[in-house]
Amino acid sequence: MMKIVITGASGQLGKELTQIFKDKGYEVIPLDKKQLDITNQTKIKQMMLDIQPDCLINTGAFTQVDLCETEIEKAYLINGIGPYYLACEAKEKKIKFFHISTDYVFNGEKAEPYIEEDSPNPKTIYGKSKQLGETLTLAAYENTTIIRTSWLYGHEGKNFVNIIKKLASQTQEIRVVYDQYGCPTYTKDLGLAIESLLTKPHGIYHITNSGSCSWCEFANEIVTFLKSQTVVIPVSTEEYGLKTPRPVYSVLSHKKLNSKGIFLRNWKEALHEFLKKEDDSSEN
């Protein structure tokens, strides 16, 4: 069975992928940032020599959008240079390489879902550093698969769903932006799609749950499912006062993914399963 190394394995996607691949019988070696600093090429070379994997999946990233604006060097090192080093070593060993990217590589000004061929034009340091990661990995190794995803949430992670859940149990009102649109994505569904891509051609793929919504609609769905009395108050991006601009519209097209026979369920169905699992685990 294929031996798979997952970098950034302590994050919510890394944990989900580790569990999914183990459940499917793969030999999985999860490495967190303490076990492997992806910005250290010497350590990557040693890891590849020691483990000799058949596939390398990089989920490691510096994802704190506001912090990226001030910790610029860190953002470019982790999101750009680190993935490049991994791609170089994957090429050296002639193994499959997967790299997780983001909707933030686009400017968010399109009026219809972004396709893989659309030109990236990021507006933030986070987006620019992630675009650099895409550009460098593809230049370094043609057998690279880039996965762009968005609005990710999973178990054991800080994310929008868990934040809204917590606020719904503590406050009577939550202010949420109504004029930004995207695709919520459950780590479980993303992970299963990535596993399906192991046997598909390399390239760039957009993977999110199907359908789209605003952050406000997303929050309302969470609060409604929880049967909370908390009221979600719609506010504009300008009123909310974010430090760093977010894409106004970052819905990703699934046409290419669907053409490979891979389909993801609607975001509401995925969200309900996630919330039920969270509820069940809290009772045990």
Which positions are catalytic?
126
* Cα dihedral 63→101→88→86 (10° resolution): 40
**What is the gyration radius of the CA atoms in the chain, in angstroms?**
19
* DSSP percent split of the chain into helix, strand, coil, nearest 5: 45, 20, 35
> Rounded distance, CA 130 to CA 63, Å?
9
Residue with tokens 């090192």: 77
Degrees, nearest 5: CA angle 264-268-273: 85
Residues paired with 175 in a beta bridge: 233
Characterize 4-25 residue by residue with b for buried, 16 or more Cβ atoms within 10 angstroms of its Cβ, and e for exposed: bbbbbbbbbbbbbbbbbbeeee
Host H or E run for residue 207: none
